[in-house]
Copies of this chain bind each other. A is one copy, B any other.
Amino acid sequence: MRKLVALPVLSADALSSVAYGPEAMLAVLVLAGTAGLDFTTPVAAAIAFLMLAVGISYRQTIRAYPHGGGSYIVAGDNLGRIPGLVAAAGLMTDYVLTVAVSIASGVAAITSAVPSLSPYTVPIGAGVIAALLLGNLRGLRQAGALFAAPTYAFVLAMLALVAKGLADAADRGFHTAAAPPLHAAEGVGALLVMRAFASGSTAMTGIEAISNAVPAFRPTEWRNARTTLTWMICLLITLFAGVTAVARLDGVVPRSGETVLSQLAHRGFGSGPMYVVTQAATAAVLLLAANTAYNDFPRVLFLLARDGHAPRLFLRLGDRLAFSNGIAVLSVAAAVVFIAFRGDTASLIPLYAVGVFLAFTLSQAGMVRHWWRLRDRHWRKSLFFNATGCVLSALVLVTAGITKFTSGAWVSILAVGLFLLVTTRIHHHYEEVRAALRLHPHAIEIPASPGGAPPAEPSPAAEGVPPAAPSAAPVRPMAPPHASVREDEESPEEIRNLAIVPISTLDLAGMRALAYAASLRQPALALHLSPGEAEADRFRGYWDRWGDHLPLEVLVTPYRATVAPLVHYIEALHAQQPQLTLTIVVPEIVTRRRRYRLLHDRTASRLRRALRLLPKIVVTDVPYHV
């Protein structure tokens, strides 16, 4: 990607945070009335400094991880498995909240302009999540001019807004306009200021996006990525400081029903086209920010699954080469959060900072360790920058966790804890299974012998067969029977088979199953369930004429149960002859249309479920297509 394309695409998340960060900060300060608002400048300055420090810190990460240094990788590489998982937990909650907060804020930008839509906040937001879900399942990728436009439009609108605001303020000699009469609910105190700081820090979310995506840049990748990061940080600080300053100068404070940005735009641009453009650009960039989470969340899940910390199904690519399962999980989680908080940005903000700064802190702590171990040319400088970023991030994390605990941070902390619990359990399980499946030690040694005896008798199909592309038809899959049937050799696991065919009526589906069982050239037995003795005799009569000489066993069961008596029979048979491998061959009717499936007994899958814990039972369904 060229830098001018990468900048808007990768910084949509960070820059769009300006739409809610300053407002979140002001919303806390205003609780202390006019006296609280006087703290706007110092708090904003602290946040701007934090942005600078974290930005410089991530410049070091980009240099050290030119192949992409997400928090999970950096923390896992340098600090170990558990810190990596904690960072991943922070990231996952961060991404879920990015979607929820960005959409909440984007809908607020729309309802500020069109207040009549505000009762429909939740349905609109849910609709947007559904649209993102579908778009991403269909392989929508964010790149190119289409995705660059909203970010540039938003940046330009914000710069114009700040310039207009500053010019207006200059006209009045930078005299601060009076805020509307305020009711001071709380006094000014350290706690309030810290809360405001923690809330305002949500303007920093998304700052790590560039360091994750270094390989997407043109060569020399890490240099270009660093330059882009520097631009982004400068823009972010400018917009954040500018919006905060103009809001302060204009005496604008958060109020319900209209965002601070909308109020500023109304003051600066009136209600004309410029206002509409500003609101539209804000909504668009927030939507784009939500979409970035759709790229990042499934990727982190993929990495977790690759390392055995998440279910393997997150490794799968869907038809359109998108990680469908991760996308679905993100959508469901974001929708639940969005709906639970009724799409209210202010209620979601307290949840947000914890995850973000958890990932920041661990990522930068990992970098500190990295430089300490590596000690290359610039290691002292880099270590210093990363350590500064780490300490500052940790401070925000602790501040947010404590001051916002009751107002929502506990949800995020709980989510991180649960995530850790589940991922470590999953990892433990996968390790256990791997150990259980390993080929036995004495067996493993043989292939490990270096330059051992040449493989005797390579199998005919294995050598020189060109790798078949999925669509290429295989050439000679039929092996001569003697190649696979080795009756005279002793196989490592000697298997003696008995095929059992449960048959309820003598119809074509049942006949097919019987023919299949017979074709296996193994001992076979048909099993019939009969509601009574008379019916049983009648069936035996049919069987003598039609049963193809296969032995028949008839079970008389008074109730119309089908699966339970079969299961009992098979269990008893297994207990009596445990050396036998039982292959249950079930006739299964397959209908062309899926909706008719419910109409047919799915005996095979029910049997499979009922018998899953019993060893040496193989359930096979022989389909008959109607």
Contacts and interface: CB of A to CB of B under 8 A. Distances in A.
Interface of A: 311-313, 315-317, 319, 321, 426, 429-430, 432-433, 436-439, 443, 446-447, 452, 455-463, 465, 467-474, 477-481, 483-487, 491-493, 495-500, 506-509, 511-512, 515-525, 530, 533, 536, 540-557, 559-562, 564-565, 568-569, 572-573, 575-577, 580-581, 583, 589-592, 596, 598-601, 605, 608, 612-613, 615, 617-626
A437 B553 contact: no
Contacts of A625: 613, 615
A544 B471 contact: no
A484 B524 contact: yes
Contacts of A484: 499, 517-518, 522-525, 549-551
Q: Which 7 A-B pairs have the closest CB atoms?
A: A455-B544, A461-B551, A467-B556, A495-B519, A470-B568, A437-B507, A473-B572
A504 B605 CA distance: 24
A569 to B, nearest CB: 6
Contacts of A617: 623
Contacts of A478: 498, 523, 525, 577, 580
Given A436-B626, A523-B484, A569-B470, A542 B313 contact: no
Given A573-B474, A591-B433, A553 B312 contact: no
Contacts of A575: 473
Given A443-B546, A456-B544, A459-B550, 4 more contacts: A439-B507, A467-B554, A483-B551, A486-B548
A509 to B, nearest CB: 5
A557 to B, nearest CB: 6
Contacts of A518: 484-486, 491, 495
Contacts of A312: 599-601
Contacts of A511: 439, 492-493
Contacts of A551: 459-462, 477, 479, 483-484
B613 A552 contact: no
A619 B319 CA distance: 22
B623 A461 contact: no
A477 B573 contact: yes
A615 B483 CA distance: 26
A493 B470 contact: no
A530 B462 contact: no
A509 B493 CA distance: 12
Contacts of A548: 486, 491
B316 A560 contact: yes
Contacts of A483: 523, 549-551
Contacts of A459: 543-544, 547, 549-552
Nearest to A476: B551
A564 B321 CA distance: 12
Given A478-B577, A618-B516, A618-B623, A472 B437 contact: no
Contact of A313 (B487, B557, B565, B598): B598
